[in-house]
Chain A
Amino acid sequence: MSDLVKLIIDGVEVEVPKGTLIVDAAKQIGNDIPVFCYHPKLEPVGMCRMCLVEVGFPMRDRATGEFVLDENGKPKLNFGRGLQTACTTPVGEGIEVRTTTEPVKDAQSSVLEFLLSSHPLDCPICDKGGECPLQNLTMQHGHGTTRMVYSDKLHLNKHVPLGELIYLDQERCIQCARCIRFQEEVVDDPVIRFHNRGRRTEIVTMSDPGFNSYWSGNTTDICPVGALTTADFRFGARPWEMKPAASLCTHCPVGCNTTFSTRREAKSGGKHVIKRVMPRQNEWVNELWMCDKGRFGHHYAADSAARLKRPLIRKNGELVEVSWSEALDFAAGKLQQYGTAVAGLSGDRLSNEDLFQFQKLFRKGLKSHNIDLAARRLAGGDVVAKVGLSSGSNLKELGKGDAIIVVASDLHEEAPVWWLRVKQAAERGAALIVLNVRSTRLDKYASHVRHYAPGQAVDAVRQLVNFAKVEGDSNGDALSAAAETAANANNLVIFYGSEGVDYEETAVIAQHLANLLLMKNGDGHAGRPNNGLIPVWPHNNTQGAWDMGVHPAFGPGYAALETPGLNAAAIYEGAANGEIKALFVMGADPVGDGLMADRGQLEFLAVQELFLTETAQLADVVLPAQSWAEREGTFTSGERRVQRYYPAVLPIGDNKADWQILAEIGERVGLGKPAFAASLIFNEVAKAVTQYKGMDYRTLAQVVKQWPDVGGEDGYYAGNAQKNRAGLGQVWASAAESGDAVAYDVAETAVHVNDGLALIRTAALYTPGTLISQSDVLADRLAQPTISLNAQDAAQMELAEGDLIDVNVAGDTIAALVHINNTPAGLMLLSGVPYVAGTAVAQIGQEIKD
């Protein structure tokens, strides 16, 4: 118990862990000491002086070190040190804090008067007005008037772009440095700084392009005034006009919890409009953060003019609008017409309800197991079901004594919040082991890095696992030291991805890594909280697609099928050669993605989509679906957290939710009355997918009190977007948690040997694509097709920085800019282009001259 400290705050006794700051201790008993510069996710600095309180320290006898007692036998308190900043002063045994005395009140109103002396007071046109800590704290603790003579006020620039995404209003800035500290301490992108000193202090950006960071939007959330605004939202709406709708980011498998702030507005014809996206607190997932892709990359959903609005059927070669009943009757009839020569391909951004309904339509309605994801990239869902990150885990808890392995993934570009949390774990002392073909932004924080030769990912992983098996056999090899660290770690979390490896290779990698987790070293790692495997899935609900059984070999809940159906590759082949006659594509664009050349020999093609994609343009029937912003549902993150999202805006056109369209087709093929709510389908899911047992929309909506407590009057953030009232989700238990996982007998694989220059496609967060290309704000940040290689290889090929050359990849020719960096010899990295599997042989064409 010596780790707890007792103190008194305004007469209330409170017991908190040693080292707790007074401001946090007070908060735990509902006493909001006003703050500006303090933010519980940042190191305290004591700059703004808003949190001054009186602190009485127990006096000790100099000679004996004992407390000096007063006449009542209580330790005598010394209040003589003057006011103390509650945000920097840790609690101490027996101290007494007074937060409401005259000196404290006077200090609070003085600091507010100072802060407001040159403040523009343009609250009536300020984006923060209504959820502004400065406004709120002024109402609570400030003067009603100012004594600053107007002409004495300092006037500064009000529209300073720190890059095209974030704008600074210098007059509103109260110099609290939260933004700067966030960029430096939290995300390690120190691209904004204070310039000059004293009252001339201003925030400047030091990067080109300005504010070059994937995290810039977060600074606008934590800025306690309206000094920082996003280009997307500024001047867009007043905070109190907007309604919060809890949602989830759909861009990556992290599954950041978000809030849409929406309002109905005249200029949009009275429609509900999404005005902004903000992170919603979930301390197990994204804490209080999100990346800029999630924040700015949502416009494809509700704002895009390109969205489909009504069902279409091809008549006389043209797609024409028809009624739903005509479209559904037509689709249902055609799908039944070809017996077993029918197949379905799905995308992995759809909800669990959609995906479940999809497999049900095929398996139960059409009696076919020919279903798969349209674009398979990463295998191992079945392995994850056995040894995935255990429920009850939180990456925030990893630190000293723990280890994290990241294989074949650039988390910073593929799943930014995971990158952040892994980096922070490493900073707390966790050993970080990185295996990749090239360096990524994780290397900087890693304790062990292995750059394997192109094509040899599987081999490197196998070696790592083998080294770990032989205890104490550290033969000096970096990989064996890494293996020893991993094997002996208290907790072990492993991420694996698909950079430079193909689907089959990822299946083997997953099994090897599972064996590492299952290795009995003490208790073994798999199955314990804060241990397990995390797949860096390509999309936000790839996990859900596996769980729901959108797989030719597994039914819902990984139930193995006796006679599997055709997988995606076989389906594409069947479409081309006529073995498959009817194809249903949902939320995917295989033609646009180059997976399917054309309709081939298909007699019937149905596409269910948001947009008239290249595949949809070839279809016989096009079924317009609602985006996630218009409806409710659940996604399952890469950590297997099943999370709910809620409708934010009204549906566009006559569109229906994907599950609904599927259920209505299902009714027409004999599956009975369609369910009329997503929650009911989820109830079916919870029955069919054993792992989801016990979950329903109510359990997923449960919240617990989170620390830090945001979204009150506290001054960390005074609005309603960050507060999570809509659910924290639930993680399903891996098989290992109940001891039901055994090691894999992994098949030997041939070692890949590469002739000539190898080519690997690497991820870039802002790779242009159907979705994010519809966010105008991100236009200048979209990744250009770029080929990176080292100076020697470039010299040999007579390439120079900035050259534009043709690269042949998987049959396509892409014009790419040459970038010379520290890429390993014999390797070319291609980024800014859609996914290319595995390690290819580079074919460089002519330099393009204009």
Chain B
Amino acid sequence: MAHILLRHRDVENIHKLDVYRANGGYEGLKKALTEMTPAEVIDVVRASGLRGRGGAGFPTGIKWGFIPKDAEEVYILINTDESETGTFKDRELSEKNPHQVIEGAIIAAYAVGAKRIYNYFRGEFMDAGYAMEEAVQECYANGLLGENILGTDFSCDFVCHYGAGAYICGEETALIKSLEGERGQPWSKPPFPAIEGLYSKPTVVNNTETMANVPQILVNGAEWYTSMGTEKSTGPKIVCMSGHVENPGNYEVIMGTTYRELIEMAGGMRDGKAFKALLPSGGSGPVITADALDAPLTYEGLDAHNSVMGSASVIVMDETTDMVWAAQKMIHFFHHESCGKCTPCREGTFWMEKVLHRLMNGQGTEKDIETLNSVAAQMKGRTLCALGEFAINPVLSTIRLFPEEYKAKVKNSQSEDWEKALATQ
């Protein structure tokens, strides 16, 4: 099957403007600018059922529709912070097929009346950023960015910005603060970016992959798009396969593909070992076990298994994996990345890491498992942004699905000595 998003795998040098154009590039933009009103563009995107690929899956057309029609200054932000554990799709898109993202963003800008696009890269994404900047230069040189794009009245600029490398700066409001030169911390919504975003102006924040979907929706129409996938999850999706599979990497599939099929695409389990569990959404989503492998990759496909597709960064774990160890790794990440703004996440991630660390070192007690569970429960629904919500998932789900592994940690410990030590403190 030919790729829709990862077209660079089919067409050599598509990162170059002439190659991209020779393969139908910027036709979507041309159509939007010359044949459609902004409202019509939004309608097509809405009809396509395209949902945000950054994880939350918010319908893109509806998001664009929130921008006040009379706003004087509107911004488009492309979110290329991509810091979720096991996620590396936006990087490939930016490095190898940057024009498709740029084109999508210009179309978005036209649809909402923005005159400036910012692309926010995580600090480490130098290669991706440079590739994108080169493509942007080509656009400026060829009338695709700047004044009077494609000879129309529409003008728009494109700026690449590099963060300092913080997971939280992928959260849209933290991203905005960081872009403004402030401390990268989320704010409590409302106000939503669509009303008060960058520099307090209405702002659309979209994931890189979301943008990459837009040009072909314009060219081929909403129906073409909805013909792929399921009713609520349309179109193609890039899945980042990593962990204990033979061939880790990005795979473009149609929504609805099962997790079992995904593992097969990635060459099956490493060294023929048995499958144990997988994290469907990097560290942010609850783990799932073999009983969920036939679930479809859709926004709602894992509902029955208490998990989520998220950004589709699938980390596969085989039978050799110590699940407490895995939970500890994830919590270490969240503790390290918690911005510290709100109490439950700042304190809870710190606390959970301490307890897991003790468990891993054979110093845990039965009570610690209870504590872990309830600390996580106490964070739920009380944090300022979703990072704190994500952080509890690997812990709660591994305790739920692998309780015996936690108990084993306690048994191994010199727990009695430990309790004695506690009592004498």
User: Which A residues have a C-beta under 8 Å from some C-beta of B?
Assistant: 44-50, 52, 82-83, 85, 88, 106-107, 110-111, 113-115, 117-118, 147-152, 154, 174-175, 193-194, 196-201
Query: Are A107 and B382 in contact, CB atoms less than 8 angstroms apart?
Result: yes
Query: Are A110 and B382 in contact, CB atoms less than 8 angstroms apart?
Result: yes
Query: Are B343 and A118 in contact, CB atoms less than 8 angstroms apart?
Result: no
Partner of B343 from the list A114, A148, A196 (CB cut-off 8 Å) is A114
Nearest A residue to B421 via CB reads A151
Partner of B350 from the list A52, A83, A151, A199 (CB cut-off 8 Å) is A199
Query: Are B337 and A198 in contact, CB atoms less than 8 angstroms apart?
Result: yes
| Complex alpha-carbon distance, A107 and B383, angstroms | 11
Partner of A114 from the list B336, B339, B344, B422 (CB cut-off 8 Å) is B344
Query: Are B384 and A52 in contact, CB atoms less than 8 angstroms apart?
Result: no
Listed A/B pairs (23) with beta-carbon separation below 8 Å: A45-B341, A47-B342, A47-B384, A49-B344, A52-B382, A83-B382, A110-B379, A111-B382, A114-B344, A115-B347, A118-B350, A148-B351, A149-B422, A150-B422, A152-B358, A175-B340, A175-B346, A197-B338, A198-B335, A198-B340, A198-B349, A198-B350, A199-B335
Contact with A along B327-364 (1 / 0, CB 8 A): 00000000111111111101111110011001000000
Query: Are B338 and A111 in contact, CB atoms less than 8 angstroms apart?
Result: no
Determine whether B425 belongs to the interface, using a CB cutoff of 8 Å to chain A. yes
- Chain B residues within an 8 Å CB radius of A50: 343
Query: Are A199 and B343 in contact, CB atoms less than 8 angstroms apart?
Result: no
- Chain B residues within an 8 Å CB radius of A85: 188
Q: How far is the CB of B292 from chain A (nearest CB, A)?
A: 26
Determine whether B140 belongs to the interface, using a CB cutoff of 8 Å to chain A. no
Nearest B residue to A48 via CB reads B343
Interface residues of B in 370-421 (CB under 8 A from A): 371, 378-379, 381-384
- Chain A residues within an 8 Å CB radius of B338: 197-199
Residue picked from A48, A110, A198, most chain B C-beta under 10 Å: A198
| Complex alpha-carbon distance, A107 and B338, angstroms | 20
Q: How far is the CB of B338 from chain A (nearest CB, A)?
A: 4
- Chain A residues within an 8 Å CB radius of B346: 114, 175, 198-199, 201
Determine whether B88 belongs to the interface, using a CB cutoff of 8 Å to chain A. no
- Chain A residues within an 8 Å CB radius of B342: 46-49
Determine whether B183 belongs to the interface, using a CB cutoff of 8 Å to chain A. yes
Q: How far is the CB of B276 from chain A (nearest CB, A)?
A: 29
| Complex alpha-carbon distance, A193 and B185, angstroms | 13
Residue picked from B358, B378, B382, B425, most chain A C-beta under 10 Å: B382
- Chain B residues within an 8 Å CB radius of A106: 378
Query: Are A199 and B349 in contact, CB atoms less than 8 angstroms apart?
Result: yes
Determine whether B166 belongs to the interface, using a CB cutoff of 8 Å to chain A. yes
Partner of A46 from the list B166, B348, B351, B384 (CB cut-off 8 Å) is B384
| Complex alpha-carbon distance, A264 and B217, angstroms | 80
Determine whether B259 belongs to the interface, using a CB cutoff of 8 Å to chain A. no
Determine whether B187 belongs to the interface, using a CB cutoff of 8 Å to chain A. yes
Query: Are A199 and B347 in contact, CB atoms less than 8 angstroms apart?
Result: yes
Given A114-B347, A115-B347, A117-B347, decide whether A82 and B336 contact each other with a Cβ distance below 8 A: no
4 further A-B pairs in the complex, CB-CB below 8 A; given A46-B187, A175-B340:
A47-B342, A47-B384, A83-B381, A196-B340
- Chain A residues within an 8 Å CB radius of B354: 149, 152
Chain A to chain B: the 9 pairs with minimum beta-carbon distance, closest first? A46-B188, A114-B347, A110-B378, A201-B340, A152-B354, A198-B338, A199-B350, A198-B340, A82-B381
Given A49-B382, A198-B338, decide whether A110 and B350 contact each other with a Cβ distance below 8 A: no
- Chain B residues within an 8 Å CB radius of A198: 335-340, 346, 349-350
| Complex alpha-carbon distance, A151 and B166, angstroms | 29
Given A45-B188, A152-B351, A199-B335, decide whether A174 and B340 contact each other with a Cβ distance below 8 A: no
Q: How far is the CB of A494 from chain B (nearest CB, A)?
A: 33
| Complex alpha-carbon distance, A175 and B346, angstroms | 10
| Complex alpha-carbon distance, A50 and B342, angstroms | 10
- Chain B residues within an 8 Å CB radius of A82: 381
- Chain B residues within an 8 Å CB radius of A118: 347, 350
| Complex alpha-carbon distance, A198 and B358, angstroms | 20
| Complex alpha-carbon distance, A149 and B118, angstroms | 46
Nearest A residue to B339 via CB reads A197
Nearest B residue to A112 via CB reads B343
Given A52-B382, A83-B381, A107-B382, decide whether A117 and B340 contact each other with a Cβ distance below 8 A: no
Nearest B residue to A174 via CB reads B343
| Complex alpha-carbon distance, A523 and B352, angstroms | 67
- Chain B residues within an 8 Å CB radius of A52: 382
| Complex alpha-carbon distance, A107 and B348, angstroms | 13
Partner of B355 from the list A111, A152, A196 (CB cut-off 8 Å) is A152
Nearest A residue to B422 via CB reads A149
Residue picked from A47, A83, A152, A199, most chain B C-beta under 10 Å: A199
| Complex alpha-carbon distance, A150 and B422, angstroms | 8
| Complex alpha-carbon distance, A117 and B344, angstroms | 11
Q: How far is the CB of B347 from chain A (nearest CB, A)?
A: 4
Nearest B residue to A147 via CB reads B371
- Chain A residues within an 8 Å CB radius of B382: 49, 52, 83, 107, 110-111
- Chain A residues within an 8 Å CB radius of B344: 49, 110-111, 114
Interface residues of B in 43-102 (CB under 8 A from A): none
- Chain A residues within an 8 Å CB radius of B166: 197
| Complex alpha-carbon distance, A291 and B425, angstroms | 45
| Complex alpha-carbon distance, A199 and B350, angstroms | 7
Q: How far is the CB of B374 from chain A (nearest CB, A)?
A: 8
- Chain B residues within an 8 Å CB radius of A48: 342-343
Q: How far is the CB of A82 from chain B (nearest CB, A)?
A: 5
- Chain B residues within an 8 Å CB radius of A197: 166, 168, 338-340
Query: Are A111 and B336 in contact, CB atoms less than 8 angstroms apart?
Result: no
- Chain A residues within an 8 Å CB radius of B340: 175, 194, 196-201
| Complex alpha-carbon distance, A174 and B341, angstroms | 10
Partner of A117 from the list B351, B384, B422 (CB cut-off 8 Å) is B351
Query: Are A47 and B350 in contact, CB atoms less than 8 angstroms apart?
Result: no
Nearest B residue to A150 via CB reads B425
Q: How far is the CB of A173 from chain B (nearest CB, A)?
A: 11
| Complex alpha-carbon distance, A50 and B422, angstroms | 30
| Complex alpha-carbon distance, A584 and B11, angstroms | 101
Query: Are A194 and B183 in contact, CB atoms less than 8 angstroms apart?
Result: yes
- Chain A residues within an 8 Å CB radius of B367: 147
| Complex alpha-carbon distance, A201 and B335, angstroms | 12
Nearest B residue to A200 via CB reads B340
Q: How far is the CB of B118 from chain A (nearest CB, A)?
A: 22
- Chain B residues within an 8 Å CB radius of A147: 367, 371
Q: How far is the CB of B386 from chain A (nearest CB, A)?
A: 12
| Complex alpha-carbon distance, A149 and B351, angstroms | 10
| Complex alpha-carbon distance, A197 and B334, angstroms | 12
Q: How far is the CB of B205 from chain A (nearest CB, A)?
A: 20
Nearest A residue to B374 via CB reads A147
- Chain B residues within an 8 Å CB radius of A201: 340, 346
- Chain A residues within an 8 Å CB radius of B347: 114-115, 117-118, 199
Contact with A along B123-152 (1 / 0, CB 8 A): 000000000000000000000000000000
- Chain A residues within an 8 Å CB radius of B383: 49
Given A113-B378, A114-B343, decide whether A49 and B358 contact each other with a Cβ distance below 8 A: no
Residue picked from B341, B348, B349, B381, most chain A C-beta under 10 Å: B341
| Complex alpha-carbon distance, A106 and B374, angstroms | 11
| Complex alpha-carbon distance, A148 and B347, angstroms | 11
- Chain B residues within an 8 Å CB radius of A174: 343
- Chain A residues within an 8 Å CB radius of B425: 150-151
Q: How far is the CB of B275 from chain A (nearest CB, A)?
A: 34
| Complex alpha-carbon distance, A160 and B124, angstroms | 34
Q: How far is the CB of B177 from chain A (nearest CB, A)?
A: 12
| Complex alpha-carbon distance, A52 and B188, angstroms | 13
- Chain A residues within an 8 Å CB radius of B336: 198
| Complex alpha-carbon distance, A200 and B340, angstroms | 8
- Chain A residues within an 8 Å CB radius of B343: 47-50, 111, 114-115, 174-175
- Chain A residues within an 8 Å CB radius of B371: 147
Nearest A residue to B337 via CB reads A198
Query: Are B384 and A49 in contact, CB atoms less than 8 angstroms apart?
Result: yes
- Chain A residues within an 8 Å CB radius of B337: 198
- Chain A residues within an 8 Å CB radius of B349: 198-199
